[in-house]
Amino acid sequence: MSYDRAALEAELIRDEGEELKVYRCTANKRSIGVGRNLDDVGISKAESAALGITLASVLKNGITRTQSRALLANDIDACERQLDAKLPWWRGLSDVRQRVLLNMCFNLGITGLLGFKNTLAKMQRGDFAAAAAGMRASLWARQVGARAERLATMMEKGTA
């Protein structure tokens, strides 16, 4: 099953915000666009070539909305590849539940998401109420508040 990419993009923009100038995220990393971590991810050579930007130009001048959305698309693609490599069963989930995992991967990184071992096992076996309860009981949920509640409800009910 394939997920609604436009819905995911809208959810990530709602949850992350979108800034066209460099800002410090909650982890004190330089970021831009829709949560692009410039300190850890930066701007790739392919992105520089395609978008006409460099890390130096982004730090100095910021980016356009079009560039922000291109970086977001690349970050979603990276999350998909990471989920395919580490949790290949995620593609068998419903559209909404796929978006939950992508959103969590985007927010936490694949390493942080993999820390949800019990919750992920519950998702994999289809126990979505228990998976949602695990999400709600986490430190992550206390840190991100409303975002975690929205995602847990989506996981539990299978609807947005």
CATH number at residue 132: 1.10.530.40
- Residue 33 pairs in a beta bridge with 19
Confidence of residue 103 (pLDDT cuts 50, 70, 90): very high
pTM: 0.94
Distance, in Å, from the CA atom of 133 to the CA atom of 6, rounded to the nearest integer, reads: 27
Confidence of residue 1 (pLDDT cuts 50, 70, 90): low
pLDDT at 56: 97
Residue 147 pLDDT > 90, yes or no?
Answer: yes
Assign 41 to helix, strand or coil: coil
Residue range 41-62: mean pLDDT, rounded: 97
Residue 25 pLDDT > 90, yes or no?
Answer: no
The structural domain count of the chain equals: 1
- Its domain, for residue 90, covers 5-157
